[in-house]
Amino acid sequence: MNYTTMSSILNRHLIQKIFHMTEPKYWQQSKEFLSKVDPSLEGLLLKHDDYIISSRGEALETLLRAIVGQQISVQAAASVWGKLANKIGQIKPENVLSLSFDDLKACGLSKQKTQYLINICNHFISFSIKDHSHWEDRSFESVYQELITIKGVGPWTAEMFGMFYLLEKDIFPIKDIGIIRAMNQIYGDGNILSKNQIIEISEQWKPYRSVACWFLWKSIDSEDVQY
């Protein structure tokens, strides 16, 4: 093992220790698979070899962050979330609902997003969702179908929940603007790819499409995408 490889491993372990992060069991296997099937991803994977994904372990926070992050940049979403988190305190549905509509909106949210946050919190209270037991031992399809019944939680938000909370390994958010931009840069040679072309490229990543997407986001944003 050379010095560079050893340093990379030590750095990864240090990051994990500091942030209490544990990479999914499929993480290394998925990177090896993607490197073999897609040479265009291989360089990206090597460049960000220390990159780790892990779940926050907080379902409500992940959903609320996903709503905040809809259709805005990673940096803008981080700014809005910081203001919101300071105002809410501990992220619990009761704490969110204790604030007025205008207080929530003043953090930088649109009227629609403000209402969506309220809708999610009401869902958590109505279904007495207090911990991970509500989501465990269920297929992602089952979780997806529940989430999209909440007004404001569409396919993209449900997919972010699957990727960042459940750590599902094979989700491809076809409408994510960051993924589209990254794929245009890497595979489009300056041209805009069609939806069919994007889907065709992503097919080779199965069953690790989520992992490919995490690295595609990494290729276009200096800050990690986190929900």
- For the stretch 102-141, pLDDT in tens is 999 999 999 999 999 999 999 999 999 999 999 999 999 9
Please compute, for residue 40, the number of CA atoms within 13 A of its CA located in the half-sphere on the CB side.
15
Band of residue 22 on the pLDDT scale cut at 50, 70, 90 = low
Structure tokens at 109: 């949210």
Please compute, for residue 203, the number of CA atoms within 13 A of its CA located in the half-sphere on the CB side.
7
Q: Are 123 and 154 in contact (CB under 8 A)?
A: no
Give the Å distances, CA to CA, from 16 to 51, 152, 161, 220.
Answer: 10, 34, 22, 23
Q: Please give the share of the chain, as a percent, with pLDDT higher than 90.
A: 78
Please calculate the CA angle 58-61-63 and round it to the nearest 5 degrees: 110
Assess whether pLDDT exceeds 50 at residue 69. yes
Delimiting residues of CATH 1.10.1670.40 domain(s) in the chain: 24-49+168-227
Q: Are 15 and 48 in contact (CB under 8 A)?
A: no
Top-confidence residue, 221 or 135:
135
The rounded distance, in Å, linking the Cα atoms of 85 and 92 is 11
- What is the maximal distance between C-alpha atoms in the chain? 58
At residue 11, the pLDDT reads: 42
The rounded distance, in Å, linking the Cα atoms of 15 and 49 is 12
Assess whether pLDDT exceeds 50 at residue 151. yes
CATH classification of 24-49+168-227 is 1.10.1670.40, yes or no?
Answer: yes
Give the Å distances, CA to CA, from 64 to 82, 98, 177, 183.
Answer: 12, 16, 19, 27
Q: Please give the share of the chain, as a percent, with pLDDT higher than 70.
A: 90
Delimiting residues of CATH 1.10.340.30 domain(s) in the chain: 59-164
Angle between helices 209-220 and 155-164 (to 10 degrees): 100
The mean of the pLDDT values for the chain is 89
Of 144, 154, 85, nearest to 119 by C-alpha is: 154
Strand ranges, E, within the chain: none
pTM: 0.87
Assess whether pLDDT exceeds 80 at residue 15. no
Assess whether pLDDT exceeds 60 at residue 174. yes
The residue-averaged pLDDT of 159-185 equals 96
Tokens 């340093």 belong to 7
Report which residue type is found at 226.
Q
Class of domain 59-164: mainly alpha
Give the Å distances, CA to CA, from 58 to 65, 98, 112, 133, 141.
Answer: 11, 19, 23, 12, 20
Band of residue 56 on the pLDDT scale cut at 50, 70, 90 = confident
